[in-house]
Amino acid sequence: MNFQDRRVKILVGLCVLLVVVVAYRIFDNIQKNKERAARINKGREVAVEVSVPKRVTIMPELIFSGSLDPEWQAEVAPKVDGRVEKVFVKEGDKVTKGQVLAVLEQEDTDAEVLKARGEYIEAKTNLRKAARDLERYEKLFQAGAVSEQTVDDYRFAHENAEAQLDAALGNLRGKESSLSGTNIIAPADGIIAKRYFQEGYYAKAGTALFAIADISTLKTVVNIPEGQIAGVAVGNEAYITLPAFENRKIVGKITSIAPVADLPAHTFSTEISVENPENLRAGVFATVTLAAEPRENVLTIPMHAIVMRDDQKTVYVVDAENKVSRRVLAIGYSNEQYAEIVSGLQDGEVIVVRGQNKLREGSQIKLDKAGK
């Protein structure tokens, strides 16, 4: 082995030794830090406030958001094409069922009705003539003056005249319907919510000219989760807050609840109606509060005792040695003050209600002056 090779081996050995020494020092420092932290934590007791779950009677309130809409609304469209000749109403006007809202030009339609009426009268005349001819030739046939073939021809002519009269009558009724279709009629009582066309516009059949709404009764629809539907029934009162009207509060009633849940959300569509004698504006945002049936002897804890971890509601439970462990909870009804415990806690268990942000699994605690 030459000098150069020995030199390389020595350098490699020194590098390996240096790496080992550095790694050992790092590992040793980590271990010492862990031991130091453990000694510190072992001697530290966290001051917290504790309590026990309480059994109470709760009055569940369910809060939802929605909009207060008309009980009934519809768009009104002409049955025929035509230019808008006259509009009699504007947005906000009250209208009654059968009231004429607008009129389309009628000149062409009038002419078509007159023509159809003339065709109908002509068909009636032709039928009367065919009936007289048939009667006369049947008498001649009985007298032996004409052949049976001749009588059959007049019978066919009479039947054809009857068919022509039916066709003329149908055409006349269609034209008269078109004429009546030039008058745009309100289908029910309400107010004009929208007017889409002005005088002079050309309207196509089926194109909405007006939107009419009945705001004498307003309604809102909320979707109640299946876990909260128990105790909610048709006829229950609902308290509605309207931010648009300086948080005005009005009272409505539940008028219908869907018999089958909407999937996949598992919610029940619930309609709430409210009388509107003061003609409040419809379509405004509303906050709906429903009062469910009272529930007795329910296990509850304060809401501020709950700690969220990994999207789970948890609470710190204190054992006999004043050490804490985190417990996952199943929560039923809750509000800003308290939460119903469905599972995860038992009567008499001690929980941390304040100071839990300083805790971790296994922390030793001591009670502050508020602790019991």
Q: Each residue of 136-172: pLDDT tens digit?
A: 888 888 888 888 888 888 888 888 888 888 887 786 6
Residue range(s) of every CATH 2.40.30.170 domain in the chain: 65-70+213-294
Least confident residue range of 69-78, 141-150, 185-194, 258-267: 141-150
Q: How far apart are the first and last CA of the chain?
A: 82
pTM, rounded to two decimals: 0.53
211: left (phi over 0), alpha (psi -120 to 50) or beta: beta
If 0-12 CB within 10 Å is exposed, 13-18 middle and 19+ buried, where does residue 2 land?
A: exposed
Least confident residue range of 38-42, 66-70, 115-119, 333-337: 38-42
65-70+213-294 in CATH: which number? 2.40.30.170
What fold, for 46-58+296-367?
A: 2.40.420
pLDDT of residue 36: 62
Q: List all residues 6 or more positions away from 371 whose beta carbon is below 8 Å from its beta carbon.
A: 48, 49, 50
- In tens, the pLDDT along 237-261 reads 899 999 988 888 999 999 999 999 9
Q: Which among 301, 371, 372 has a CA at the least distance from the CA of 55?
A: 301
pLDDT of residue 371: 44
pLDDT of residue 253: 93
Classify the C-alpha dihedral 150-154-155-159 as positive or negative: positive
In sequence order, what are the beta bridge partners of 266? Answer: none
Q: What letter represents residue 160's amino acid?
A: N
CA distance readout (Å), 370 to 52, 300, 304: 13, 20, 15
pLDDT of residue 43: 45
In whole angstroms, what is the distance from residue 201 CA to residue 208 CA? 12
CB contact at 8 A, 45 and 365: yes
Q: Print burial letters for 61-70: b (CB count within 10 Å at least 16), e (below 16).
A: ebebebebbb
What average pLDDT does the structure give for the chain?
Answer: 83
CA distance readout (Å), 360 to 325, 352, 363: 8, 12, 6
Q: Give percent helix, percent strand, percent coil of the chain, each to the nearest 5.
A: 35, 40, 30
Q: How confident is the model at residue 96 (pLDDT cuts 50, 70, 90)?
A: very high
Instruction: Report which listed range, 107-111, 166-170, 178-182, 257-261, is most confident.
Output: 257-261
DSSP 56-121: EEE--EEEEEEEEEEEEEEEE--SS-EEEEEE---TT-EE-TT-EEEEE--HHHHHHHHHHHHHHH
Least confident residue range of 38-52, 78-92, 348-362: 38-52
Q: CA triplet 130, 136, 137: central angle to 5 degrees?
A: 90
CB contact at 8 A, 185 and 165: no
Residue range(s) of every CATH 1.10.287.470 domain in the chain: 106-181
Residue range(s) of every CATH 2.40.420.20 domain in the chain: 46-58+296-367
Superfamily of segment(s) 106-181? Helix hairpin bin (1.10.287.470)
- Mean pLDDT along residues 96-110: 79
